[in-house]
Each structure stands twice: as structure tokens, then as C-alpha cells.
């Protein structure tokens, strides 16, 4: 483990140990994550945030340097284990991505477990997509995105659209997505002592909050087990040291088996969803730059 990663892990544990080391009551976890976001995730220059509603779903538009009125957008689902997180915790990262791409990002505030367990979040993801299309957005000019649980949610939505033969987005990017709620990935154990940002001992509890009595292998919950006919290009990013490494690696293999064009952007020795530390961690800025190139490639005419 590099010195930078050791220092980052120690700093994170000192700042918000309850959020990182265990799953407290959902209300406490949410407050802790919101506090951590305000402390750790700086807004980029020129950040602009605008509240909205996508039907019944609250949403936040995040941009920097481009406003929120363009025809090409990023529809982004935040992480937080389906229990915590919000557009507020992830808005700075998406504002920086907006500055890099020249496109605004829309972040739905989907319903959380345990108050509203599966399939509430994926139903909200589909509803947010359909609300944007009802406003006149061209699906071929939308890129889906998400991180951790939100990355799984974006992939679940993509699978639903592919299987339904519906209009598809231009592409999808997912940062350290949680794709297998059956928890069969070997990296959950292999990297348990390394990935301190998402401790392995919290994952089963988070899964149970969300899935409850439902089947965790349902592809709407675990996109790893879905089908993706006609899938557009996908960009997956993870670090070899994450407990969800195998979720991402196997997702890449699954999509390639379906004929999709997949970029698996694999990094070394970094914590879960490290791009969220944009503006603080050089590797976060470099990782977001790679995401931006993918978004540009999907939305810029050839």
C-alpha cells in the first residue's frame, strides 16, 4: 500500500469513523455521509446547482462552466449502498465532470432502503429516464453514469432498457459499481484488509437493508446476472485493491459476452470510488479525466 493511500485511509477514519467502519442506523449513516461530503469533496470553480423534479422524483442538476440547458446530458445515480448518499454528497464530483465534458449532469434522489427497499430504487431510475425523454431529451444524447450502488443501478436500468428493446442511451460509465448482491465475488475477502473506504463487514448488512426478502440474483438488483442485447459502449472503472474489484471485472466479462464494447479502466492501490476525491487526490482528477474522454467520445459526432 502506498504512503498516500495509507494517509488517506487514516484521515478518512479520523474524520468520519462511524460512516466508514460500520453501518449505524440509516439516519445516522446518512447524516455522517452528508457531513463527510461537505468536508472532503470541494466544489470546482464555477459550480452551479439547480434543484428540479423528474415527475415525483427530486433531482439536482450539477454543472460548471456550461449551464444546465444543453441537449447532451449525463444521467447519474449516486452511490451509498442504497441506504445513504444523495445528490448533495456527489454533486461536486459531477460538477467537475461537467466542467471537463461541457455537459450538465442530472442526479435523481431515488428512494432509499430500508424505508423503501428493492425494487424502489430501480423503479425510480427507470422513472427518471422516462421523465427526461418526456421532456424531449434524445436518448442517444444521454450518457448514463453511477458509482458503487448507483453504478449497479445504472447498469440495472441499462439492462432493463436493452431487454425491453427500448431506445438506449449513448453509453454508460460506472465507477466501482456494485453488481452482485449475492456477494459471490472473491475480492470481498481478498481485499477486506485493504479497502478501508468500504469495509467488507458492512456489505451484507447494506445488502439486506436493500434486498430484504427479495432474490438478490434478480438482474434488477444484481446487473451481473442480466442480459444486454444491443448494449451500447460501457466504461467501467475500479482499483485492484477494492473489495468490489471482482464485481467490476466479472461485469466487464459479462457485457463482452453480450457483444458490448467495454473499457475496463483498472487502477492500482486506490480506495473505493476514489474519483469522488477530485480536487484533493491527483489520481481522482486523472480518473475523472478518463471518464470525461469516454463521455466526449459517446456524445461528440464522429
Q: Which residues fall within 8 angstroms of residue 35, CB to CB, at 6 or more apart?
A: 16
d(CA 132, CA 113) in angstroms, rounded, equals 24
Q: Is 187 a catalytic residue?
A: no
d(CA 175, CA 248) in angstroms, rounded, equals 9
Q: Is 193 a catalytic residue?
A: no
Q: Which residues fall within 8 angstroms of residue 133, CB to CB, at 6 or more apart?
A: 139, 167
d(CA 110, CA 193) in angstroms, rounded, equals 31
Active-site residue identified among 32, 98, 176, 242: 242
Active-site residue identified among 148, 176, 187, 222: 148
d(CA 143, CA 73) in angstroms, rounded, equals 7
Q: Is 148 a catalytic residue?
A: yes
Inter-CA distances, 5 with 81, 282, 290, Å: 22, 12, 21
In contact, 94 and 273? CB cutoff 8 Å: no
Active-site residue identified among 72, 245, 272, 283: 272
Cα Dmax for the chain? 49
Q: Which residues fall within 8 angstroms of residue 71, CB to CB, at 6 or more apart?
A: 137, 138, 141
d(CA 251, CA 176) in angstroms, rounded, equals 11
Which amino acids are annotated catalytic? 148, 242, 272
Amino acid at each position: 500500500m502506498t504512503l498516500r493511500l495509507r494517509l488517506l485511509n487514516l484521515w478518512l477514519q479520523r474524520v468520519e469513523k462511524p460512516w466508514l467502519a460500520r453501518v449505524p442506523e440509516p439516519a445516522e449513516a446518512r447524516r455522517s455521509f452528508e457531513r463527510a461530503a461537505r468536508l472532503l469533496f470541494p466544489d470546482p470553480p464555477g459550480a452551479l446547482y439547480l434543484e428540479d423534479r423528474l415527475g415525483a422524483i427530486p433531482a439536482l442538476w450539477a454543472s460548471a462552466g456550461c449551464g444546465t440547458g444543453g441537449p447532451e446530458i449525463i444521467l447519474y445515480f449516486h452511490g451509498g449502498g442504497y441506504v445513504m448518499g444523495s445528490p448533495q454528497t456527489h454533486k461536486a464530483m459531477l460538477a467537475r465532470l461537467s466542467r471537463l465534458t461541457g455537459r450538465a449532469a442530472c442526479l435523481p434522489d431515488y428512494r432509499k432502503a430500508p424505508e423503501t427497499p428493492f425494487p424502489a430504487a430501480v423503479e425510480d431510475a427507470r422513472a427518471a429516464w422516462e421523465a427526461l425523454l418526456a421532456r424531449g431529451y434524445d436518448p442517444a444524447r444521454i450518457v448514463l453514469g453511477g458509482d458503487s450502488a448507483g453504478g449497479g443501478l445504472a447498469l440495472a436500468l441499462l439492462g432493463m432498457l436493452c431487454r425491453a428493446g427500448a431506445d438506449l442511451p449513448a453509453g454508460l460509465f460506472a465507477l466501482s459499481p456494485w453488481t452482485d448482491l449475492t456477494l459471490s465475488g472473491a475480492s470481498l475477502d481478498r481485499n477486506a484488509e485493504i479497502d478501508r473506504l468500504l469495509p467488507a463487514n458492512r456489505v451484507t448488512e447494506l445488502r439486506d437493508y436493500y434486498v430484504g426478502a427479495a432474490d438478490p440474483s434478480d438482474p434488477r438488483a444484481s446487473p451481473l446476472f442480466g442480459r444486454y442485447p444491443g448494449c451500447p459502449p460501457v466504461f467501467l472503472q475500479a482499483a485492484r485493491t477494492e473489495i468490489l474489484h471482482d464485481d467490476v471485472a466479472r461485469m466487464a466479462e459479462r457485457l463482452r459476452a453480450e457483444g458490448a464494447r467495454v473499457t475496463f479502466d483498472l487502477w492500482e492501490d486506490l480506495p473505493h470510488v476514489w474519483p469522488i476525491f477530485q480536487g484533493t487526490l491527483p489520481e481522482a482528477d486523472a480518473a475523472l479525466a478518463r471518464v470525461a474522454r469516454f463521455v466526449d467520445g459517446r456524445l461528440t459526432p464522429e
